[in-house]
Amino acid sequence: MTADGRDGFPVEPGRYRLVAARACPWANRTIIVRRLLGLEDALSIGMPGPTHDARSWTFDLDPGGRDPVLGIERLQEAFFKRDPEYPRGITVPAIVDTTTGAVVTNDFAQITLDLSTEWREHHREGAPDLLPDARRDEVDEVNRRVFTEVNNGVYRCGFAGSQEAYDEAYARLWTALDWLEERLRDQRYLVGDTITEADVRLFTTLVRFDPVYHGHFKCNRNKLAEMPALWGYARDLFQTPGFGDTVDFWQIKQHYYVVHTDINPSGIVPAGPDLSGWVTPHGREALGGRPFGDGTPPGPVREPVDPTHTPLSR
Ligand SMILES: N[C@@H](CCC(=O)N[C@@H](CS)C(=O)NCC(=O)O)C(=O)O
């Protein structure tokens, strides 16, 4: 029997291309999970550059400005192959069928779940179980709160259309961050004692917090670096193979500060913050936990981040 992604496309190694911009937090999740599970050979990856125009993502980082497998300049082309009248946003992450050139899904919340479940047969040996059955309800519950209050919460602050809306969004966000700070004080990971999908989902927001959300989105009660448990937790994950080695801080900053002209009309990208803290000792091993459970860390990175865009290489 063939496993199906939730949108009905038959899982088949080598057939699909994941299109995921490093800049985007929702796409970053898929880059992390693909690497943790060792799906690099089964599912290739195309990476648009960090900035885009009104017609959305382009493959401007690739030679000739075209994705080398799909042969397209714009992700829009793959969406229009599926539906020439496609009415919604041209978003990453998206999975494209290389046999037709058409997008099969851009359901960001489902893609990582499918990678864990429907693609299981193609995982590497030693892949961690990011959705352990025994903890599934708890993972889903934490994910729900983290999604509405934190992953989306920072955007609610950043794009608030009135002072009132912003004040409300800000209060909501910090209520959730205080809850997480408390939860992570004595517990190494969000659910159980191993990394799960819940950690992936929180991590991609935390890693963008000080470089982008604190200033650009006005989420500025504290910096992440001022929240001891969250900062230790984020650094722990950052230094865990599969997490920090997918993060391109330069692309992240370019994306938000250049693309959101409504909230940053000058397009100036800030020089800071200093990123050297990300590679400092976090001391979280003292809380116990086994990051990969009965599994093992992923091997060397197949698609390395530009070493000038990350403190990991320093
Ligand atoms: N696909 C999701 C979320 C993914 C998402 O918002 N991605 C952003 C980048 S972080 C994007 O691709 N935006 C491009 C656009 O809207 O033109 C959705 O439909 O809400």
Task: Decide if 219 is catalytic.
Answer: no
Q: At 49, which CATH number?
A: 3.40.30.10
pLDDT tens string 31-88: 999 999 999 999 999 999 999 888 899 999 999 999 999 999 999 999 999 999 999 9
Q: Say what the pLDDT of residue 4 is.
A: 66
Do 166 and 187 belong to one domain? yes
- Mean pLDDT (the chain) is 96
Q: Say what the pLDDT of residue 52 is.
A: 87
Do 104 and 207 belong to one domain? no
219, two tokens: 């989420």
Mean pLDDT of 14-18: 98
Q: Would you say residue 5 lies in a domain?
A: no
Count of the separate structural domains present in the chain:
2
Mean pLDDT of 174-199: 98
Q: Would you say residue 6 lies in a domain?
A: no
Q: Say what the pLDDT of residue 9 is.
A: 86
Q: Which of 122, 157, 173 is the last residue of a domain?
A: 122
Q: Which of 77, 96, 122 is the last residue of a domain?
A: 122
Do 210 and 292 belong to one domain? yes
Q: Would you say residue 169 lies in a domain?
A: yes
Q: Which of 72, 90, 122 is the last residue of a domain?
A: 122
pLDDT tens string 273-298: 999 999 999 999 999 999 999 999 99
35, two tokens: 């690497």
Do 150 and 219 belong to one domain? yes
Do 89 and 153 belong to one domain? no
Distance 89 CA to ligand 1 centre (A): 7
pLDDT tens string 245-269: 999 999 999 999 999 999 999 999 9
Q: Say what the pLDDT of residue 240 is.
A: 98
Range of the domain at 221: 134-313
Q: Say what the pLDDT of residue 8 is.
A: 73
Q: Would you say residue 152 lies in a domain?
A: yes
Q: Say what the pLDDT of residue 160 is.
A: 98
92 lines ligand 1 (CB under 6 A): yes
From the candidates 16, 86, 155, 166, which is the catalytic residue?
155
Q: Would you say residue 244 lies in a domain?
A: yes
Do 184 and 251 belong to one domain? yes
Do 30 and 172 belong to one domain? no
pTM, full prediction: 0.97
Do 309 and 168 belong to one domain? yes
Q: At 158, which CATH number?
A: 1.20.1050.10
91 lines ligand 1 (CB under 6 A): yes
90 lines ligand 1 (CB under 6 A): yes
Do 167 and 235 belong to one domain? yes
Distance 156 CA to ligand 1 centre (A): 14
Do 37 and 170 belong to one domain? no
Q: Which of 88, 92, 201, 260 to mutate to test the pocket of ligand 1 (most atoms within 8 A of CB)?
A: 92
Cα(215)–Cα(206) distance, integer angstroms: 14
From the candidates 24, 213, 233, 257, which is the catalytic residue?
24
Q: Would you say residue 8 lies in a domain?
A: no
Q: Say what the pLDDT of residue 53 is.
A: 83
Do 78 and 170 belong to one domain? no
Q: Would you say residue 2 lies in a domain?
A: no
Residues 6+ apart with CB under 8 A from 257: 212, 216, 264, 267, 268, 269, 270
Mean pLDDT of 125-141: 98
58 lines ligand 1 (CB under 6 A): no
Task: Decide if 256 is catalytic.
Answer: no
Do 157 and 109 belong to one domain? no
Q: Would you say residue 104 lies in a domain?
A: yes
Read off the pLDDT band of 1 (50, 70, 90). very low
